[in-house]
């Protein structure tokens, strides 16, 4: 599973001000970002929001407000970076939006470079998050394909038990434990024991220890 560069993303621009929509579309197009514009939240939500890398969303609009659009996205379980565009009197609403998970908010009138930088940062973080989700999905599929005994041994290894302790606990030989452990490591793509433990933590099989807890638990 290798890292890839973020693909060219499409940005949704949702604002009832036509002149502003066109201005933002021109600005973002000038730096290589594809855009689609919507005059209201209803029109945006009628599309598939997951085709977008991020959404620029006005706080105050006729019909659904920006906060209501954000809530609809949350209710759908859509993980999409939302950057709110606010007037000077909307800061309290913007703070509310941030508490609900918005990526950021930009006050009107915009500083063009600040807006571009914010969008690029949102796209990069979203790209890394989706890559991490894909890695976890692949890892979970590999784990689910393991034999039940291999799964149990993985948990015990991640808990810090030795092969001899695991063997006594499961009523098998230490050599058998080693064979199963090596099979599991190969299946999960773990090059060494430390990496295997990290993968077990990522799978949620064991809790990650805080620095002060290392060496205090079995």
Q: Is 90 exposed, middle or buried (0-12, 13-18, 19+ CB in 10 A)?
A: buried
Q: What is the pLDDT of residue 210?
A: 35
pLDDT at 197: 84
- The fold of the 146-213 domain, in CATH, is Arc Repressor Mutant, subunit A (1.10.10)
- The answer to whether 88 touches 60, Cβ cutoff 8 Å, is no
Over the chain (218 residues), what is each successive 10-residue block's mean pLDDT? 53 94 94 94 90 90 91 89 82 79 86 92 85 84 89 87 89 90 89 86 68 40
Give burial (CB, 10 Å; 0-12/13-18/19+) of 75: exposed
Residue 44 confidence (pLDDT):
94
Output the pLDDT for position 43: 94
State the pLDDT at residue 21. Answer: 93
Q: In the chain, where are the structural domains located?
A: 10-134, 146-213
pTM above 0.85, yes or no: no
Compute the distance between CA of residue 126 and CA of residue 66 in angstroms, rounded to an integer. Answer: 20
Give the CATH H-level superfamily of domain 10-134.
Answer: Response regulator (3.40.50.2300)
Of the candidates 112, 94, 110, the residue with the CA atom closest to the CA atom of residue 102: 94
| Residue 165 near residue 155, CB atoms below 8 Å | no
């Amino acid at each position: 599973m290798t890292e890839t560069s973020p693909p060219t993303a499409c940005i949704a621009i949702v604002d009832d001000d036509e002149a502003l929509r066109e201005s933002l579309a021109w600005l973002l197009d000038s730096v290589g970002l594809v855009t689609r514009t919507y005059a209201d939240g209803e029109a945006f939500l009628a599309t598939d929001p997951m085709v977008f890398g991020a959404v620029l969303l006005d706080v105050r609009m006729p019909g659904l407000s920006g906060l209501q659009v954000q809530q609809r996205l949350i209710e759908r379980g859509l993980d999409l970076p939302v950057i709110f565009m606010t007037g000077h009197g909307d800061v309290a609403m913007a703070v509310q939006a941030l508490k609900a998970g918005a990526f950021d908010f930009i006050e009107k009138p915009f500083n063009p470079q600040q807006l571009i930088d914010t969008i690029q940062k949102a796209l990069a973080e979203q790209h890394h998050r989706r890559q991490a989700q894909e890695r976890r999905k692949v890892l979970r599929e590999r784990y689910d394909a393991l034999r039940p005994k291999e799964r149990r041994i993985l948990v015990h290894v991640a808990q810090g038990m030795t092969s001899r302790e695991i063997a006594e606990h499961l009523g098998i030989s230490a050599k058998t434990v080693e064979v199963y452990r090596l099979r599991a490591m190969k299946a999960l793509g773990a090059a060494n024991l430390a990496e295997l433990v990290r993968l077990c933590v990522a799978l949620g099989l064991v809790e990650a220890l805080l620095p002060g807890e290392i060496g205090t638990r079995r």
